[in-house]
Amino acid sequence: MSFFSFDFRLTYIAIVSALPIIIFSNKRFDVIKNINWHTLIFFAAMFVLMESVWETGFFQSIINGLSITSIPIVLTISVILSQFISNVPLVALYLPMLMHTGATTRSLMALAAGSTIAGNLFILGAASNVIIIQNAEKKGQTLTFVEFAKIGIPLTIINIFVYWIFLSL
C-alpha cells in the first residue's frame, strides 16, 4: 500500500488541527466554551433534515423528468432551490443524483458555481448569510430581505451570465 492511497478525510484535518489547542493550550476550556454551538447545531440539524428529505424522495420527485445534468438545468436548480433550503444542503441532495446519472465534470462545476452564486441572491440562499445577519442584529444593526435583494439580484444575474459563458467553453 502506497502513501497516496491513505484515506485522508476532511474530518481528520479538523480534528488534527484542533488537537494542539485542546491538548496544549492553557485556554482550552475558554476556547471550547466560546465555540458557537448554536451554529454547529444549526448545521448538524440542517444535514439531518436534508437526509430525511432525501429518504422521502421529495427532492427527487421535484426534478423528476428534467435533464438534471445539463449545465443550464444544474445552474437553474442550484440557484432556485438554494433559496428554499440553502446552498450547502442543496449540494448534499443534488450531488448524489448527479453522480448516479454519470454527470460530467462540467455538470459538477455548474453545481459548484450555481450553489455558490445562489448565496448572493437572497438571504436564505446561504446559511452564512443568515449567520452574519444574526450577528449584526446582536449589535443592533439590521439588513432586511429587500436591502439584501437590491444588491443580490443584480450580482446573481451577472454571476450566472459569467459562469454560463465559462462553463459553455
pLDDT tens track for 32-80: 888 888 878 888 888 888 888 888 888 777 777 677 888 888 888 888 8
pLDDT at 113 over 60: yes
- In sequence order, the 6+-apart residues with CB closer than 8 A to the CB of 72 are 164
pLDDT-based confidence at residue 7 (cuts at 50, 70, 90): low
Calpha distance 85→92 (Å, rounded):
11
C-beta of residue 127 within 8 angstroms of C-beta of residue 42: yes
What is the pLDDT averaged over residues 23-28?
89
More confident residue, 14 or 146: 146
Q: What is the pLDDT of residue 47?
A: 81
Calpha distance 139→124 (Å, rounded):
20
Residue 7 cell numbers, joined? 484515506
Query: What does the pLDDT look like over 120-141, one tens digit per residue?
Result: 999 988 888 888 888 888 899 9
CA neighbor of 50 nearest in space, from 9, 82, 75:
82
3-state secondary structure of 40: helix
pTM of the model: 0.69
Query: What does the pLDDT look like over 9-23, one tens digit per residue?
Result: 777 888 888 889 888
